[in-house]
Structure 1
């Protein structure tokens, strides 16, 4: 029997309904140009990216898209990578796929640039080094605060061109050395012209994909290397398995609580409402024994019915899920997912969830929470209400907390703009006009051409040009999330979602207590008080204790 492998297939985009905007916004960063320092503008209060500069940063520096793609690929697909934080409101696999696709586009460009560099540069190495020295000196002078120094750099480059012309005219041509010296001077500029055309065509392609993602996502990530074309092709199989592992970890039911940072990936806790009263039997009856899980199950069923409102403008369909919450330090730089026989593909088994819910309510250890999550604004807003039930001695405590994860930073939602410059008119100098600049400037062509031969040695490029260092513990979504409270309607949605969720929880709790012979008068009164308190119009910093 012969196994036939198809030609490099495309891995389809895995975006899901209701959360494509945030996914495509993050994916668009893989195709962006501009300085990589710009991503520092998207740093939040808790999660800060950093830029590590290389030994020759000016000449070998990566741009934003190159640095982002490299950092995300290494962090999310590396063989010995650390645990990842779930990206609620997004699908991380399409983002990684677009990083791979952008890397492939740049690699094809770099292959052609390498050929140009070898033919027009390495063969005529003395001339190449001379031109690079002049360009590097010009760049250094142009970056100076003194404008006269910048003008001197430009004059130096023009002077070098004039000397090259004189050199060509005056140099004798009756020897092989003379011909080589002439070619040595003229070959690097000719190579630059060819390299500029290659760079511009690639830049147009990248910008079209960048714009396409932000305009509706009609851009597929082509990564044929993720599908084996031969039984012995282990690298493609390894990449495919890493992508599957990434998706499996995204579905994990284990999350991490990092103090004032809140639940990593879900955002900070902005509100907390507690229903806690003593269990008193009904008159003439005894309380039938029950445990926390017996209360959680009806709450779960009641929350599933939230979308079935009496009004046509009811809730969107919520995701109701049992979570195991593990505590980590506020300044933790990594998290460790639990392992063992009770963990299968990053999921805690149902019987272990029930045991934690009933037994681990006090002291050390993980805790159980029931979560109801709403993904709104096309993935830009993630609202999570977490419910936990504890019983100590004769007191039953039902706590509802609200977490909100805001939209991705506006840096990721900006579309590409043409490069322009405002200058004064020649005659009417008091008026200005806008001129269009080249998409790829001279210095950018040189940078790409110099980096191209080292594309196959990424660690060397990191050493020479620098790299983007991602915030840890890393998750694509929460690393660059903005606060939802700056957006009026998003803030309203977060506050409004709390009331029906809390009332559904209280309704289910009181019914369970009545069925087990508990006098629910105090619980009902306390529920009414909380119903009034939850209408407080402002969110609080519930995880920041004034102590």
Structure 2
């Protein structure tokens, strides 16, 4: 059966319980009339994006344009660096929405390019005069302060308009040259009128998609026909499809990176840590049956799987329990390197290698093994991860439980579009007011889009002329713009409440296993009770910031 066809390989959006954060990030791709610098407000304590300035403000991108381009290049580029997993979201739908938004803009830019060629390039001297006036107006408005700069810019445009009128009614030339000189000032204005209609219709479409994503309805599905190969010869479509599959495979990787005080990248900072470390003493008159750390991890894994089966009806939501290979990286590292070799398949470390790391890599160099139980709450806005690691050095068994929390995406991404309205006085009852709806696209925006349109097919040129968004590294969609959960009362409560039952489940499984292997568990039980008291402390700490 032919595997190519019109319905192939356009994956569905997000998983259950992860829609809000996914849709919030995806909505940034559709944001028109929003300054690109707005995203700098979403910078957090550990990850900061930046905006590079271009040569001319007339070519400056909006937030939607810059975000779509930056995310596409970073996550689908052929020579891209490794990505950090986006826990609590599905990155593939976000990238698909970026592709869809880019397609919508390209369709608009095709029409604008035609208008620019017919009404601009053919009358180039007049278009350059108008563009110079608009560029000077933007420079004055951006560089000076207050109403004075706006008045100067408006006066400049009025001056060009008067010059155009003089050319229309009084010229020292006759014949074709006179007609051309008159047309070169009028044609760009007519082109602007047509371009405004095109820009307005596209802006309404983009705004509708932005609003739909944040309204809880799931949004309009992204249309990316260039990712659907119809025959084996469509190499570009097949390559894009493979890049999207690669993105999903990397999202499922069981390798994570610990960046010192930044915590586990993608999981958030470590806010709490509890240690159970006691000497292994045999029961009276018995010997300890030999075991390895993997023998301790397995019953802990089985016990954590049962967390959702509580005695009370109000229990945990279904957790995700996974074995993680944790690689250390520097706090200021700008990139990470995913391990390769025969023990790695599709970014996944094979089970036998996980078991080897658990048993052997406990001291000195090398990666470490952690068992993680993860809860994705608040529709993906809160990700709680409790990590368990077991070490055995000489006669001491140590079980460590640490808590990591990743908060909601910044409020910038959950802001819905506001209608452009203006309050004016009524004509007759002047003491009363009414609201009038304004066009979504103003005059300056029409000019900006029209001059950018012919360069849409040369993105590096646009980046040079107008600037671009620089994403924080190591980059992952979710943690790059995550806020701290401690500013949200209920999210903070959820993080703190999850620690106690998880830790007790870990201790119960450990003590049961030790008892079966002939270990005197009295000290472990006493220490577990002490830790149960410590975990009642309601204050999260910066557990990775050592006071030394």
Question: Shorter-normalised TM-score: what interval?
Answer: over 0.9
**Residue 58 of structure 2 contacts residue 138 of structure 2 at CA under 8 Å; is this kept in 1?**
no
- Identify if the C-alpha distance between structure 1 residues 146 and 310 changes in structure 2 by more than 3 Å, giving closer, same or farther: closer
2:528 is aligned to 527
1:233-268 per-residue CA deviation (whole Å, 9 max, x = no partner) reads 100000000000000000000000000000000000
Question: What is the CA–CA distance in structure 1 between the aligned matches of 2:542 and 2:431, rounded to whole Å?
Answer: 53
- Identify if the C-alpha distance between structure 1 residues 88 and 177 changes in structure 2 by more than 3 Å, giving closer, same or farther: same
2:546 is aligned to 545
Question: What is the CA–CA distance in structure 1 between the aligned matches of 2:398 and 2:534, rounded to whole Å?
Answer: 17
Question: What is the CA–CA distance in structure 1 between the aligned matches of 2:535 and 2:2, rounded to whole Å?
Answer: 63
1:137 is aligned to 136
Q: CA deviation at 1:182?
A: 1.3
**Residue 8 of structure 1 contacts residue 224 of structure 1 at CA under 8 Å; is this kept in 2?**
no
- Identify if the C-alpha distance between structure 1 residues 9 and 163 changes in structure 2 by more than 3 Å, giving closer, same or farther: farther
1:184 is aligned to 184
Q: CA deviation at 1:140?
A: 2.0
1:401 is aligned to 402
- Identify if the C-alpha distance between structure 1 residues 420 and 388 changes in structure 2 by more than 3 Å, giving closer, same or farther: same
Further displaced range: 168-177 or 243-252: 168-177
Alignment of 1:185-224 (within 5 A): 185-216=185-216, 217-224=218-225
SS at match of 1:373: strand
Question: What is the CA–CA distance in structure 1 between the aligned matches of 2:499 and 2:146, rounded to whole Å?
Answer: 57
2:111 is aligned to 112
- Identify if the C-alpha distance between structure 1 residues 158 and 9 changes in structure 2 by more than 3 Å, giving closer, same or farther: farther
Q: CA deviation at 1:440?
A: 0.4
Q: CA deviation at 1:512?
A: 0.6
Question: What is the CA–CA distance in structure 2 between the aligned matches of 1:416 and 1:93, rounded to whole Å?
Answer: 24
1:64-90 per-residue CA deviation (whole Å, 9 max, x = no partner) reads 000000000000000000000000000
1:303 is aligned to 304
- Identify if the C-alpha distance between structure 1 residues 344 and 185 changes in structure 2 by more than 3 Å, giving closer, same or farther: same
Q: CA deviation at 1:420?
A: 3.5
2:338 is aligned to 337
Question: What is the CA–CA distance in structure 1 between the aligned matches of 2:434 and 2:48, rounded to whole Å?
Answer: 39
2:37 is aligned to 37
- Identify if the C-alpha distance between structure 1 residues 161 and 467 changes in structure 2 by more than 3 Å, giving closer, same or farther: same
Q: CA deviation at 1:430?
A: 9.6
2:78 is aligned to 79
Q: CA deviation at 1:14?
A: 2.7
Question: What is the CA–CA distance in structure 2 between the aligned matches of 1:302 and 1:85, rounded to whole Å?
Answer: 28
1:14 is aligned to 13
1:227 is aligned to 228
**Residue 371 of structure 1 contacts residue 384 of structure 1 at CA under 8 Å; is this kept in 2?**
yes
**Residue 167 of structure 2 contacts residue 181 of structure 2 at CA under 8 Å; is this kept in 1?**
no
Q: CA deviation at 1:303?
A: 0.4
Q: CA deviation at 1:313?
A: 1.0
2:294 is aligned to 293
- Identify if the C-alpha distance between structure 1 residues 152 and 7 changes in structure 2 by more than 3 Å, giving closer, same or farther: same
**Residue 381 of structure 1 contacts residue 484 of structure 1 at CA under 8 Å; is this kept in 2?**
yes
1:59 is aligned to 58
**Residue 10 of structure 1 contacts residue 221 of structure 1 at CA under 8 Å; is this kept in 2?**
no
Q: CA deviation at 1:156?
A: 2.0
Q: What TM-score results when the alignment is normalised by the length of structure 1? A: 0.97
**Residue 9 of structure 2 contacts residue 241 of structure 2 at CA under 8 Å; is this kept in 1?**
no
Q: CA deviation at 1:428?
A: 9.9
Question: What is the CA–CA distance in structure 2 between the aligned matches of 1:29 and 1:374, rounded to whole Å?
Answer: 26
Q: CA deviation at 1:423?
A: 6.7
1:185-223 per-residue CA deviation (whole Å, 9 max, x = no partner) reads 100000000000000000000000000111121310100
Question: What is the CA–CA distance in structure 2 between the aligned matches of 1:429 and 1:416, rounded to whole Å?
Answer: 30
SS at match of 1:137: helix
Q: CA deviation at 1:133?
A: 1.1
Question: What is the CA–CA distance in structure 2 between the aligned matches of 1:338 and 1:248, rounded to whole Å?
Answer: 14
1:90-143 per-residue CA deviation (whole Å, 9 max, x = no partner) reads 000000000000000000000000000000000000000011111112222223
CA RMSD of aligned residues (A): 1.8
SS at match of 2:375: strand
1:38-60 per-residue CA deviation (whole Å, 9 max, x = no partner) reads 0000000000000011122x111
Question: What is the CA–CA distance in structure 2 between the aligned matches of 1:454 and 1:5, rounded to whole Å?
Answer: 33
Alignment of 1:330-409 (within 5 A): 330-409=331-410
Q: CA deviation at 1:7?
A: 3.9
- Identify if the C-alpha distance between structure 1 residues 5 and 171 changes in structure 2 by more than 3 Å, giving closer, same or farther: farther
SS at match of 1:452: helix
2:149 is aligned to 149
- Identify if the C-alpha distance between structure 1 residues 214 and 146 changes in structure 2 by more than 3 Å, giving closer, same or farther: closer
Question: What is the CA–CA distance in structure 1 between the aligned matches of 2:431 and 2:393, rounded to whole Å?
Answer: 79
Q: CA deviation at 1:15?
A: 1.0
Q: CA deviation at 1:369?
A: 0.2
1:333-386 per-residue CA deviation (whole Å, 9 max, x = no partner) reads 000000111111100010000000000000111000000000000000000000
**Residue 86 of structure 2 contacts residue 479 of structure 2 at CA under 8 Å; is this kept in 1?**
yes
Q: CA deviation at 1:146?
A: 4.9
Unmatched 5+ stretches in structure 2: none
Question: What is the CA–CA distance in structure 2 between the aligned matches of 1:202 and 1:21, rounded to whole Å?
Answer: 25
Aligned positions, number: 545
Q: CA deviation at 1:178?
A: 1.1
- Identify if the C-alpha distance between structure 1 residues 426 and 330 changes in structure 2 by more than 3 Å, giving closer, same or farther: farther
2:264 is aligned to 263
SS at match of 1:329: coil
1:266-316 per-residue CA deviation (whole Å, 9 max, x = no partner) reads 000000010000000000000111010000000000000000011111100
SS at match of 1:399: strand
- Identify if the C-alpha distance between structure 1 residues 424 and 270 changes in structure 2 by more than 3 Å, giving closer, same or farther: farther
Question: What is the CA–CA distance in structure 2 between the aligned matches of 1:195 and 1:66, rounded to whole Å?
Answer: 18
Question: What is the CA–CA distance in structure 1 between the aligned matches of 2:140 and 2:424, rounded to whole Å?
Answer: 22
Q: CA deviation at 1:425?
A: 8.3
1:496 is aligned to 497
